[in-house]
Amino acid sequence: ANIAAALLLYGAQRSGDIRFMTHGSIEGGRIRLRQSKTSTDVDVPVVEPLAQALEAGPLGDVTLIETKHGKPFTQKGFYNLMK
């Protein structure tokens, strides 16, 4: 939940985008992705608190945050993780 919270707080992304962020979404100290809701391309810096959370991990194998079964969180599962 720490990485998810850090991505929400410091990454300025919606939960729907965070649930499917891959390691490739973060390169060169930047978050780059196309938002699912608006199809807007975003490019925002990875600020220090977020960089520290990502470094501390744990990160999923494919998506940055995964269930214990190695799958992306569903909308409800992500909600339950964050409450």
pLDDT tens figures, 19-77: 999 999 999 999 999 999 999 999 999 999 999 999 999 999 999 999 999 999 999 99
Place 83 in a pLDDT band, splitting at 50, 70 and 90.
confident
H-state helical runs in 1-83: 2-11, 15-18, 48-56, 75-82
Q: pLDDT at residue 1 above 90?
A: no
The residue among 24, 21, 32 whose CA lies nearest residue 73 is 21
Q: pLDDT at residue 18 above 90?
A: yes
Q: pLDDT at residue 10 above 90?
A: yes
- Global pTM? 0.85
For 45, residues 6+ apart whose C-beta sits below 8 A from its C-beta are 29, 30, 31
